[in-house]
Amino acid sequence: MKGKKGVAILGSTGSIGTQALEVIDTNPNDFDLQVITANKNADLLINQAIKFRPNNVVIVDESLYNKVQDALFQYDIHVYTGEESLLDVVCGEDIDIVLTAMVGCAGLKPTLSAIKAKKNIALANKETLVVAGEIITKEARNNGVNIYPVDSEHSAIFQCIVGEFHNKIEKIYLTASGGPFRGFNKDDLSRVTTEQALKHPNWEMGQKITIDSATLMNKGLEVIEAKWLFNLRPEQIEVIVHPQSIIHSIVQFEDGSMKAQLGLPDMKLPIQYALTYPNRIKSNFERFNFIDYPKLTFERPDEKTFNNLKLAFDVLKTGGTSACTLNAANEVAVDAFLKKRISFLDISKINSQTLEKVEIIKNPSLEDYIMIDKESRKVAEELI
C-alpha cells in the first residue's frame, strides 16, 4: 500500500468503530485518521480524539458540543456538531475512505454525501443499502466509487469473488450462527428475556445488532444488502445456519464450483480488509485451527418460528419502499424490546403489522424513502 490512507470513521464509539480504531492503532504506518464521529457518547469520543488526534470530530448531539469542544480545545482538533456536519466532514480532501459504522437509518445521508464527494466506502451500516440500495448503488456507479463490505458475511462473499469478477455467480450462501435461541420453538421464545437475547454465542457486537441476530432479522437485512452489493436476484441468495461461525459465507459459480471464506469470528479482519483492499496486511489476529473444530455443521433456518427472515425475503421480492418500512419498524421494535416495553415475539409481529399498514412507493426518490421511514416509525410506535 503506497503512503497512508486517509480514513473517516462515522460512529467511532460503537462496536465496529472501536474495533476499527484498534486496527488503525496496530498499523499506524498504513492509516491517517482524519475524522471520528459519535452521536451521544461524548466521553469516549473525547478519549479517542486525544489518543488518535484526528483533524475533525463531530458530536451529533448539539447539547454535548461545548463539553467536547472544551475538552479538545488545547489539542488543535476541529469540533463540529449536528447532523449537517456529518454530511460536510466526509468530503475532506485528505479522506480516501469512509467507514460508515453508524447504527440504523442515520447512516444513509452521510454515506450518500461521501459517495458524491467520490470517497470509497467501507460499509458497516447495512441499513443504508436495505433502505435505499437502488439510490446508493446508482450514485456509487455514477461517481466511480467502490463499496467495500464490512459485514463478515458480505466481506466473505467479496473475498471469494476477487479475481472472479468476469465469472457469473449462480448462488450465494449466507451463513448464520442461529443466535442464542437456535432450536427454540415459539413457546420457548415467549419467555426469553432481554438479557438472554443479548448473549450471542459467537460474536461481540452492539446491542441492536445482537438482538437482530437473535430474531434472525440481521440475516434478513444481510439478504437485502447482498442483493444490492452483488447484483443478485432473490432466488440466488440462500441462508444456512452454521452454529460454529467458521465459514463466513460461500459463493457458487455457474460451473458448480464453490468458494468459501473461513476464519475465527473476529470483526477486525473484515474491517481491516475493507480498509486495506486490494492489499492484505499482516495481522496478529488469532489463527483458525481445523483440529479445534473437527465438525462443521449446517442446517436450514426455521423461518416459521423466526418470521423476520421470511419478511426480509418478502420485501426483497416486493421492492419499492417495503424494505425501508421493514427496517424502520424493526429499529423501533428492537428499541422497545431493549427497554422491556414489548416481548421478544412482539418484534416480528410489529414488523409484519407495520408492513401491512404502510403504503409502498414503487419508484421512490430519496425524499420518499425519508418520508416512508418516518411514517413507518410512527406506525410501529402506535402498534407498541
Reported as a single tens digit per residue, the pLDDT across 187-203 is 999 999 999 999 877 76
Return d(Cα 364, Cα 370) in angstroms, integer. 10
Return d(Cα 338, Cα 41) in angstroms, integer. 18
Beta strands 247-253 and 97-100: pairing type? Answer: unpaired
Q: What is the DSSP string of 210-238?
A: HHHHHHTHHHHHHHHHHHHHHT--GGGEE
| Strand (E) or helix (H) holding 164 | none
Q: Residue 111: CA atoms inside 13 Å, Cβ hemisphere, count?
A: 33
Virtual torsion, Cα 14, 19, 22, 23, nearest 10 deg:
-130
List all residues 6 or more positions away from 371 whose beta carbon is below 8 Å from its beta carbon.
none
Beta strands 120-123 and 78-81: pairing type? Answer: unpaired
Reported as a single tens digit per residue, the pLDDT across 64-84 is 999 999 999 999 899 999 999
Q: What is the DSSP string of 298-319?
A: -B---TTTSHHHHHHHHHHHH-
pLDDT for position 199: 85
pLDDT for position 1: 45
Return d(Cα 242, Cα 175) in angstroms, integer. 6
Given a cut of 50, the residues of the chain with pLDDT beneath it are 1
Q: Which fold has domain 5-149?
A: Rossmann fold (3.40.50)
Give start-end residues of each CATH 3.40.50.720 domain in the chain. 5-149
pLDDT for position 126: 85
Distance set, CA 104 to CA 23, 112, 131 (Å):
23, 14, 10
Return d(Cα 108, Cα 83) in angstroms, integer. 11
